[in-house]
């Protein structure tokens, strides 16, 4: 239960994606660091996906073959795994261009199921950018080009 005051229609007003909370933005004075334990791309994470992202023609992309451990319902890849792939790809498209960023807002729309054992590619691009916000989009597709999911995000620049 939220302690914020509901607006006229009874719903709580939206929170800002990240409050400044002092100097240095959302992370304060902390610097983003990679210790190779990222769930999606970390080489040291024994439970991770171990994806290798490439960058070409303004797009970040990676390929994976889904496993039984990625399922939600029987033999269907969990939507959280697909959402995670989309989130990571959108952040990677900024990082691979030398712009550190974190996700402030993300929307994912699921179009078709991805079955356990199927190969898929996630591809992301930057749509728009200013001093603070990077707007990105991403898709997950099967090898036959079937659209699994699409996502859009607003990233907060950390440079």
Whether the pLDDT of residue 124 is over 80: the answer is yes
Model pTM score: 0.79
**Token code pair at residue 104:** 């402030």
Q: 66-114, pLDDT tens digit by residue? A: 999 999 999 999 999 999 999 999 999 999 999 999 999 999 999 999 9
| Phi (first) and psi of residue 109, to 5 degrees | -120, 125
Residue 159: predicted pLDDT: 87
Q: 3-40, pLDDT tens digit by residue? A: 444 444 444 444 444 434 434 455 555 677 878 778 78
Q: Which of 95, 74, 85 is nearest to 123 (CA)?
A: 85
Q: What average pLDDT does this structure show over 121-134? A: 97
Q: 129-146, pLDDT tens digit by residue? A: 999 999 999 999 999 999
CA atoms of 45 and 114, how far apart (whole Å): 24
Length in residues, the chain: 159
CATH 1.20.1730.10 fits 54-157, yes or no: no
């Amino acid at each position: 239960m939220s302690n914020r005051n509901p607006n006229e229609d009874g719903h709580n007003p939206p929170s800002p994606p990240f409050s400044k909370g002092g100097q240095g933005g959302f992370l304060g004075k902390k610097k983003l660091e990679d210790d190779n334990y990222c769930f999606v791309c970390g080489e040291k994470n024994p439970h991770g996906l171990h994806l290798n992202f490439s960058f070409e023609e303004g797009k970040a992309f990676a390929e994976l073959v889904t496993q039984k451990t990625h399922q939600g319902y029987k033999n269907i890849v969990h939507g959280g795994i697909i959402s995670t792939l989309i989130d990571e790809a959108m952040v990677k498209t900024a990082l691979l261009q030398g712009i550190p960023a974190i996700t402030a807002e993300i929307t994912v729309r699921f179009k078709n199921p991805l079955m356990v054992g199927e190969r898929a590619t996630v591809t992301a691009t930057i749509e728009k950018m200013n001093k603070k916000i990077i707007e990105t989009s991403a898709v997950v597709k099967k090898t036959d080009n079937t659209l699994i999911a699409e996502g859009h995000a607003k990233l907060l620049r950390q440079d």
